Amino acid sequence: MADSPRASPSDIAPVVLLADDDAAVTGQLVPLLERSGFTVRVVADGEAALLAAERESPDLIVLDVLMPKMDGREVLRRLRRAGLAYPVLLLTQVGESTERAMALEEGADDYLNKPFDPYELVARLRAVLRRSRRGLPALGAAGQVRAGQLRLDRVARRAWLADRELLLTPKAALLLDYLVTHPDELLSRERLLEVVWGWDAISGTRAVDNRIAELRRVLADDAAQPRWIETVPGQGYRFLAEVVTIG
């Protein structure tokens, strides 16, 4: 009798550890995630999330920021201090701009504001999973990354192109950080506006276009033949270069 074909990594349902104490949220998300091809493990507090992450090695982790016993940001900090680079998506609260900034600085790969579209969560998890399955580490956990001659020190918030340090406005620096840590991902203007400016900001999507133009100037990038940032007409932007962690 012939042996059964061995399952390839792409045939195995990726495991998502979902940590949220809101039963209404998990009750809605679990069936959707399972229908979308994920195996889901649910815990309801931060301590249980940390224990499950250490024991079960999930492919992806979704952490609510506000949880009993240990909040999601503390779980994330402890994972990173332990050298565990699992991709992490944080669920934060609308309007708390400090939560957004801290989520990225502390090593989250992405975040969504509550309340959120569950299908947006699925799309973001798939984007993170595509990067990890191509053998790329979780870029959100990296202190320094490189894309060709472009180097970012994400801790010091400094960037260099070859030996030249780039002088960027704070918004352009944060925008570049988000683009570089989400390479090859189509990012809408609305998403970039939410990430860099926040929903509470009065800026329109034109602000995104202006900061993209700033980045192109300092990177000497040609919008017609882009090397770094591609415009996808009517949809948004995509960072083109391959990104690797260097520290």
**Percentage, residues of the chain above pLDDT 90:** 53
CA distance 50 to 188: 32
C-alpha span between 183 and 129 (Å, rounded): 13
Position 1 scores a pLDDT of: 44
**Which residues, 6 or more positions from 222, have their beta carbon under 8 angstroms from its beta carbon?**
216
- Per-residue confidence (pLDDT) for residue 229, from 0 to 100: 97
**What is the DSSP annotation of 88-101?**
EEEEEETT-HHHHH
Average pLDDT over residues 220-236: 94
pLDDT in tens, 19-45: 999 999 999 999 999 999 999 999 999
Instruction: Note the pLDDT of residue 130.
Output: 79
Average of pLDDT values for 90-113?
74
How much is the mean pLDDT over the chain?
A: 86
The answer to whether 2 and 44 have CB atoms below 8 angstroms apart is: no
Confidence of residue 109 (pLDDT cuts 50, 70, 90): confident
Give the mean pLDDT of 59-73: 93
Full-prediction pTM beyond 0.85? no
In tens, the pLDDT along 148-202 reads 999 999 888 899 999 999 999 988 998 999 999 989 889 999 889 888 877 655 6
Least confident interval from 37-41, 100-104, 208-212:
100-104
* CA 126/CA 99 separation, integer angstroms: 23
**Which has more pLDDT, 79 or 196?**
79
Q: Measuring CA to CA, which residue among 59, 65, 190, 201 is closest to residue 120?
A: 190
- State the burial class of residue 23 (Cβ atoms within 10 Å of its Cβ: 0-12, 13-18, 19+): exposed
